[in-house]
Amino acid sequence: MMNTQHAAQQFTQATRRAVAQTERRAVIRRNIGSYHQKVAEGKRRYANWAAARDRAAARKQQVLAQWDRYLEAFEANVIANGGRVHWAETAEEARRIVLAIARQHGVRSVVKSKSMVTEEIHLNAALEQAGIEVVETDLGEYVCQLRGEPPFHIVTPIMHLSRQEVAVTFRKKLQVAASDRAEELTQIARQRLRAAFLRADMGITGANFLIAETGQIAITENEGNARLCFSGPPVHVVLAGIEKLLPTVSDLALFWPLLATSGTGQSLTVYNSLIAGPRAGGELHVVLVDNGRTRLFAAGEQREALRCIRCGACLNICPIYQNVGGHSYGTTYQGPVGSVITPWLRDDDDWSHLSYASSLCGACTDVCPVGIHLHHHLLANRRDAVARGRDAWWQRVLFRGWLWVMQSPERYRWAGRLATWAGAVGLRGPRGFPMPVRRTFRDWWSGQR
Amino acid sequence: MNFARANILRRIRAVRARERIEAGAVPERLAECMFAPVTDPVAQFEAEFVAQRGELVTDIGGFLKEFTRVVCDGSEAASALRCRWPGLQPVGSMAELARADLAVTGCEWLVAQTGSVVVAHRAISVLPPVHLVVARRAQVVADLATVFDRLRERYGGRWPDAVTLITGPSRTADIEKILVMGAHGPKRLALYWLEG
Amino acid sequence: MRVGLFIPCFVDQLFPQVGIATVTVLRRLGLHVEFPESQTCCGQPAFNTGYWSEARELARRCARVFDGYDVVVAPSGSCVAMVRNFYPALGVAPPPVFELAEFLVRRLGVTDVGARFPARVTYHDGCHALRELRLKEEPRTLLRHVRELELVEMDAAETCCGFGGTFAVKFPHISGAMDEVKCTAAARTGAEYVVSSDSSCLMQIATQLRQHHPTLRTISLAEVLAST
Ligand code: SF4
């Protein structure tokens, strides 16, 4: 277990290193630049993006308003479809469930498609420890796995890497002669992973949406690897956060385009699949993971973040994320949404330093396709951190003193004078910011009367 | 035995009992905020399909000549082709599919607004490098909302175990946002209209 | 119309010329303005740091100070946003505050304040003005009517400069990196001035400009509008 100091200090150190890497920042800026261009084009297709967003927000909010009922309905329908449902309160419990399924089927090899919840519960390490081969099959995730790195971004896991760096990784880890052409690198991955699909006896996927009405699992992807994960191996295990619900399958007529446009600028992602049961002769297991989500639900207004569809838009627009990158956060979910939810999802540490690591510019809130007021929730997290006594004692004293000063115009005036004198003897504000001037506005005002 | 389930539901209910979670009204009719309405479904489907990098096949004989190991599904549409090319045989196993160089399948519906093909099968249209969809123009519906209505009508309470909405060939842009076609699935997606 | 002036503590102490310019512009339009001298701070620093009960004290105080005014005008999008958008979260009814450009364009319908400012300028959108108050066109409309002023847009005009109050102090390296991105974009326009409604943003931007783009300077919107 880490202590508070630790995670916060690590963040500060990691971000110091990150901002010093100007080349890395340039790669990120370039990738994000092309994302923004595509998204702007994509949004132009909508008759009314803001109305679509409000509608999506309302549908997800309706789920939260009757969350338990939607969960029960979903469960009942999965069972009716011939699938099995497992519930996990913690990451540990979720891992245990998956391992038990694997053991029961004598699984030796697993193929996985991109799933953030499996990152969240550190599933790969657990499977590997049990002697099971795990292969990430999304191209970006595959590269991450080869490099032994966590994803840099919840949607585009290797957006920090140049082609050259990917090529070096392939040469080193796969012992292949690879040029740095994206086309060739993709082909190499395709060939390598084909073999993995054919030998796997279990496929693990995440879920973009869980449809309460029908018990379907909706999975969105561009590559086709998720389709192979749930089509090849006889056992399909779905890991999903319990907030992934949508009321009806028809809601996807809104959410599929919205997710695609916010995620990559596409009007639809290439493959949008709906799984309603096991394949012929196979098994379907759905693991519903809480792991702090009900804690977030109990938090207060921040529960709005449970609407999140993990599109990544708030990361891409975030000037902090753009400059410090995904790895600095030290969390599964990076960027604004990660800063909002991590303090609730993880109890190994406080994580409220992330809520302070924001200029509160609100760009995230503007782009969120489900209308989450992200920057307001960062403020609420700060409030809650103070309420829980997570603030530094000197800061508390400072603000008490500051309040005392500001409650009286005379004290305020004197504090200003004091600061002016301090400035006159050479004291500077932080980062060279100026100190108060000799003749303030109110001096001028009383002077001209 | 299942404490997790009970505990999770209990925690949610405790919050709901403590405070009212606002549900909020759902504004606007969906169609009014989404993509422009469809006036000429078939023409728009073709345009969108091509815009998503799909190919429309007119000379089916010439097209099929490019391939040597062709697999097909058991659909009525694919069998319509089989009468003309008896070499086509439905197959199933992953290994067999992985060896093929073309998959020929039917489909459920086609979506005009997005150029998408709705299929209700699993691996056949992912493994071979080229996927040919055989369809009739009557299968074109206007938009996504209509597709879900039609699927619901067709299957009632029992949905097929897998439905996939395919919009263009497989691709990735994971590396430097450079678009590469044929990531894991087919590099080419083609469509041939059956008459009548 | 009884017009109260709200001069944020920040402007009062560090940038009094911005307050003076605000008075100049309003008086030029024939308005009689009052400055209640008991005002201090709106409470934003405490609010943003999580000290909501301290912030609430000051919010109540501020609401009392401006009680009875028909409008309250402030040369800062940030402090106006604090009062209008965040006081309700503290359970305090906000006084009728307006950011200067917002007041001029939206409330008075004035777009030409009779200013002259012979320079090429680029406008930086302060985040609170842009996203909490939804002011995008108002300041630009005013600038376009300033004689001999050429307005050029920078890339990323809407990107945060990285100030963020205590954020700039707690995470100076991140704040500095954001500032650098901002100033590079501003410098590319070839402008002589970066203009903004918020002096706090301009203070942040100025630290970077001093080091890397010494020919580019900052000036508040109020001062531009006050020049003749
Ligand atoms: S919070 Fe909103 S913008 Fe961010 S990932 Fe979630 S849905 Fe997307």
Q: If residue C208 lies in a helix (H) or strand (E), which one and from where to where?
A: helix C199-212
Are chains B and A touching, using the cut-off of 8 Å on CB pairs and a minimum of 3 such pairs?
yes
Interface partners of chain B (CB pairs < 8 Å, 3 or more) are: A
The first and second tokens of residue B155, run together, are 């299957």
Please name the member of C37, C43, C50 whose beta carbon is closest to the beta carbon of A442: C37
Q: Where are the domains of chain C?
A: 2-107, 116-226
| A229 and A112, same domain (yes or no) | yes
Selected from 3.40.1400, 1.20.1630, 3.40.50, 2.60.120, the CATH number assigned to the domain covering C2-107 reads 3.40.50
Contact A139 B12 (CB under 8 A): no
Angle between helical axes of A374-387 and A335-345 (0-180°, round to 10): 30
C31-54: average pLDDT: 96
Q: Give contacts of A362 with chain C, Cβ < 8 Å.
A: 127-128, 131-132
Chain A interface includes B42 (CB < 8 A) = no
Rounded CA gap, A233 and A197, in Å?
A: 8
B64-83: average pLDDT: 86
Among the candidates A387, A415, A434, a domain finishes at A387
Contact B180 A253 (CB under 8 A): no
A380-389: average pLDDT: 95
Higher pLDDT, B147 or B95: B147
Residue A430 lies in a domain: yes
Please name the member of B4, B127, B164 whose beta carbon is closest to the beta carbon of A88: B4
Say if C2-107 and C116-226 have the same CATH topology: yes
Give the nearest ligand 1 atom to A305 CA: 1
- 3-state SS of chain A is CCCHHHHHHHHHHHHHHHHHCHHHHHHHHHHHHHHHHHHHHHHHCCCCHHHHHHHHHHHHHHHHHCHHHHHHHHHHHHHHCCCEEEEECCHHHHHHHHHHHHHHCCCCEEEECCCHHHHHCCHHHHHHHCCCEEEECCHHHHHHHHHCCCCCCCCCCCCCCCHHHHHHHHHHHHCCCCCCCHHHHHHHHHHHHHHHHHHCCEEEECCCEEECCCCEEEEEECCCHHHHHHHCCCEEEEEEECCCEECCHHHHHHHHHHHHHHHHCCCCCCEEEEECCCCCCCEEEEEEECCCHHHHHHHCHHHHHHHCCCCCHHHHHCHHHHHHCCHHHCCCCCHHHHHHHHHHHCCCCCCCHHHHCCCCCCHHHHHCCCCCCHHHHHHHHHHHHHHCCCCCHHHHHHHHHHHHHHCCHHHHHHHHHHHHHHHHCCCCCHHHCCCCCCCCHHHHHHHHC
Q: Does pLDDT of C58 surpass 90?
A: yes
Count of domains forming chain A: 3
C164-184: average pLDDT: 94
Residue A40 lies in a domain: no
| A127 and A239, same domain (yes or no) | yes
C103's CB contacts (< 8 A; 6+ apart) are C71, C73
pLDDT band at C171 (very low <50, low <70, confident <90, very high): very high
What are B169-187's pLDDT values in tens digits? 999 999 999 999 999 999 9
Contact B144 A257 (CB under 8 A): yes
Higher pLDDT, C8 or A6: C8
pLDDT band at C151 (very low <50, low <70, confident <90, very high): very high
Residue A91 lies in a domain: yes
Q: Does pLDDT of C33 surpass 80?
A: yes
pLDDT at site A5: 60
C218 DSSP β-pair partners:
C194
| A264 and A319, same domain (yes or no) | no
**Nearest residue of B to residue A191, measured between CA atoms:** B184
| A139 and A193, same domain (yes or no) | yes
Q: Does pLDDT of A299 surpass 80?
A: yes
| DSSP one-letter code for C136 | S
| A97 and A136, same domain (yes or no) | yes
| A174 and A241, same domain (yes or no) | yes
pLDDT at site B23: 84
Among the candidates A387, A418, A440, a domain finishes at A387
A302-322: average pLDDT: 97
Rounded CA gap, A115 and A239, in Å?
A: 8
| A125 and A253, same domain (yes or no) | yes
Residue A304 lies in a domain: no
What are A93-114's pLDDT values in tens digits? 999 999 999 999 999 999 999 9
Chain B nearest-CA distance from A333, in A, is 18
What value does the mean pLDDT of chain B take?
91
Whether complex ipTM tops 0.85: yes
What are A124-181's pLDDT values in tens digits? 999 999 999 999 999 999 999 999 999 999 999 999 999 999 999 999 999 999 899 9
Percent of chain A residues topping a pLDDT of 90: 92
Rounded CA gap, C224 and A388, in Å?
A: 46
Chain A nearest-CA distance from B144, in A, is 5
Residue A45 lies in a domain: no
Residue A14 lies in a domain: yes
B132's CB contacts (< 8 A; 6+ apart) are B57, B63, B102, B103, B104, B105, B190, B191, B192
Q: Which residues line ligand 1 (CB under 6 A)?
A: A 262, 308-314, 337, 367-370, 372, 374
Residue A300 lies in a domain: no
Q: Does pLDDT of C172 surpass 90?
A: yes
C116-226 placed in CATH 3.40.50.1860: yes
pLDDT at site A426: 79
CB B49 within 8 A of CB B167: no
Distances (CA, A) of C12 to C15, C47, C87, C195, C199: 6, 20, 21, 19, 11
| A249 and A119, same domain (yes or no) | yes
| A262 and A190, same domain (yes or no) | yes
Chain B interface includes A42 (CB < 8 A) = no
Domain housing A423: 399-448
What value does the mean pLDDT of chain A take?
95
Which residue has the least CA distance to atom 8 on ligand 1? Answer: A311
pLDDT band at A1 (very low <50, low <70, confident <90, very high): very low
Distance from residue A153's CA to the centre of ligand 1 (Å): 12
Q: Give contacts of A296 with chain B, Cβ < 8 Å.
A: none
pLDDT band at A423 (very low <50, low <70, confident <90, very high): confident
Which residue has the least CA distance to atom 4 on ligand 1? Answer: A314
A323-349: average pLDDT: 94
What are C5-19's pLDDT values in tens digits? 999 999 999 999 999
Identity of the residue numbered A426: G
What are B112-126's pLDDT values in tens digits? 999 999 999 999 999
Name the pTM for this structure.
0.95
CATH number at residue A266: 3.40.50.10420
pLDDT at site B90: 74
Residue A360 lies in a domain: yes
Chain mean position to CA A182: 26
| A247 and A371, same domain (yes or no) | no
pLDDT band at A225 (very low <50, low <70, confident <90, very high): very high
| A228 and A82, same domain (yes or no) | yes
Q: Does pLDDT of A233 surpass 90?
A: yes
